[in-house]
Each structure stands twice: as C-alpha cells, then as structure tokens.
Amino acid sequence: MEMPLGLSGQLFARFRACRHGGVFVYAAFVVPVLLGFAGLSVDVGTWYVHKRSVQSAADTAAVAGAVEIMRSGDPALIQMAAQAIAAKNGFDAGSGGTLTVNHPPTSGPSAGSSDAVEVVVRR
C-alpha cells in the first residue's frame, strides 16, 4: 500500500529530482575558498617583497661601509655612509626600523675582522 506524498512531499521530490542550477550550489562553496587562497597569495607576495627590500637596504649599506673602510677607515664616516645608502635604498628609520652598523662585525664568519662591516636592519 502506497502512502500519498502530499503537497510538501511532492515539492521535495521534484526539488531533489531537478538538476538545474546545481553548479551554483557548488560555486557557493568553492568561490570563498578560491578568494581565500587569492588573498593569502597576495599577503605572502607582499611579505616577500618587503623582506627583499629590507635585505637590499642592508646589503648596500654594508657595501658602502666597506668602501668607506678602504677610503678613510674612520668609524664615524663608515656609520654615516652606511646609513645614507640604506636611506637611499628605501630604509626609513622613522617608521619603527633600526639600523645597526658594527665595525668590526660582532657575528658571522668575519666577526672581529677590522676589514669588514656588519649591518643589521630590523623593521
């Protein structure tokens, strides 16, 4: 004996059988995930560019300090040259960053060498 479905049962049965618009249901679940990954990739890319910018400022400041060692050897001029070149390469001490010039270096393979300069940039 078969039981009648009634009006609500018939609507539900028709809704389950209908395949129109199924893509929209899947898209409703997939699009937020794709947007999340897109946002994450933009953030990671920005972090990478920022890291490279800070590294570039530190590298060029160290080279400028090494050139000043060859020119004069004066610690005050070494400090000034490193800070000036770091500023030209985008380092802004006013935005919460610190630039430390160590002559002779305090760490690394050239620690203690009077012919080397160590520049530490933190932002």
d(Cα 98, Cα 93) in Å, to the nearest integer?
6
> pLDDT value at position 104?
87
In sign, the C-alpha dihedral spanning 30, 31, 34, 39 is negative
Structure confidence at residue 94 (pLDDT): 72
Q: Are the C-beta atoms of residues 77 and 29 closer than 8 Å to each other?
A: no
| Percent over 70 (pLDDT), the chain | 91
* Span of 46-55, 56-65, 97-106 with lowest mean pLDDT: 97-106
Predicted local confidence at residue 1, as pLDDT: 46
Q: How confident is the model at residue 123 (pLDDT cuts 50, 70, 90)?
A: confident
What are the tens digits of pLDDT across the range 74-114?
Answer: 989 999 999 999 989 888 777 778 888 998 888 888 888 88
What is the identity of the amino acid at 33? V
Is pTM beyond 0.75? Reply is no
The per-residue pLDDT for 68 is 93
